[in-house]
Amino acid sequence: MTSDLPVPDPAPILDLLEAFRRSKTMFAAISLGVFDRLASGPASLDELARDLHADRDALQRLLDGCVCLRLLSHDGSGYANTPTASAYLTSASPRRLTGYARYSNMALWQLWAHLEDAVREGTHRWKQTFGWDGPIFDHFFRTDADRREFLMGMHGLGLISSPAVAAAFDLRRFRRLADLGGATGHLAVAACRRYPELHALVFDLPGTQALAGELIGATEVANRIELQAGDFFTDALPEADLFALARILHDWSQDKIDRLLRKICERLPAGGALLVAEKLLNDDRAGPSQAVFQSLNMLICTEGKERTLGEYAAILRQAGFAGVEGKRTGTPVDAVLAVKA
């Protein structure tokens, strides 16, 4: 017996069956040094196979995959980086995302293999995957080079998002910004560029200070940005009338978030505010896809999750804030501003 109902389009399923192959193709090309080798100019397949110590036939398949992904171009005689690959996938680019790509390949790729167990148990997979209790910041970045490369990957993401976050609200009334967990200072730089009267302080763990100083020092607003080493959970917070938490709240448990938000609110003067940069889930939680899958990623590798604007508003008001407002930025993170009640 046959059904008269139309057969659904299988394209979404077929695309998902292939999706992980596309990301792994990019990861492998980065790891093998394809984009760095081509940073100086086009090269033939034979030259690439020789210089990258790779099997010629197998490398050709990988390179052709990168052409399909529009990361490489091929003119019949040689391969070359596309502008996108040159900007984001070469080690010499100040906008590189290679650190986050390598982290995705070395850590997230393996952690996501245990998604089913994470869903069953509701906990991250560091112990199961690597034998570590977590958090990642204590174990994964064991050398200064590892930490620097990861921070540069996050810096690249910040260069995409931070100018839009700084522009999401009118922050002209604030005079001193303290960016907690501010890493390389990309948000502080973006805010100081937009608001000439603003001074900023980047507050983060000692391991971030050297790179932050190097990157901030190369900007035209370096004279308005300070660095201070500290742990925002355990140390006294700096003085400011505007605090920022960018990609911080989604890492931690509800209890830790509540304690941190109360600590910030108590430190702020009347009329002070907190700027939060996170990807906002839609109210129905069915999108945007970047937030939905980032929330799953947080399950796999942290204590936290992504939230709707309403959920952020609730926890911010409970901590003593009022007038919570959210803005979509069209970048990897959105913006929320909460004023002290």
Q: Are 165 and 83 contained in the same domain?
A: no
Q: Are 212 and 311 contained in the same domain?
A: yes
In a domain, 307, yes or no: yes
What percent of the chain has pLDDT above 70? 97
Q: Is 139 annotated in the active site?
A: no
Radius of gyration of the chain (CA): 22
Q: How many CB atoms lie within 10 A of CB 14?
A: 10
**pLDDT tens-digit series, residues 38-89:** 999 999 999 999 999 999 999 999 999 999 999 999 998 899 999 999 999 9
Q: Are 73 and 146 contained in the same domain?
A: no
CA-to-CA distance for 63 and 70, rounded, in angstroms?
A: 10
**pLDDT tens-digit series, residues 154-207:** 999 999 999 999 999 999 999 999 999 999 999 999 999 999 999 999 999 998
Host domain of residue 32: 11-90
State residue 341's pLDDT score: 85
In a domain, 319, yes or no: yes
Q: How many CB atoms lie within 10 A of CB 321?
A: 25
Q: Which CATH number fits the domain that encloses residue 155?
A: 3.40.50.150
Q: Are 225 and 328 contained in the same domain?
A: yes
Q: Are 241 and 310 contained in the same domain?
A: yes
CA dihedral 237, 239, 243, 247 (to 10 degrees): -30
CA-to-CA distance for 298 and 149, rounded, in angstroms?
A: 21
Q: Are 307 and 166 contained in the same domain?
A: yes
Q: State the pLDDT confidence band at 5, using cuts at 50, 70 and 90.
A: confident
Q: Are 60 and 155 contained in the same domain?
A: no
Question: Catalytic one among 124, 155, 186, 250?
Answer: 250
- Count how many domains the chain has: 2
Q: Are 141 and 255 contained in the same domain?
A: yes
CA-to-CA distance for 24 and 89, rounded, in angstroms?
A: 14
In a domain, 115, yes or no: no
Q: What is the mean pLDDT of residues 213-223?
A: 97
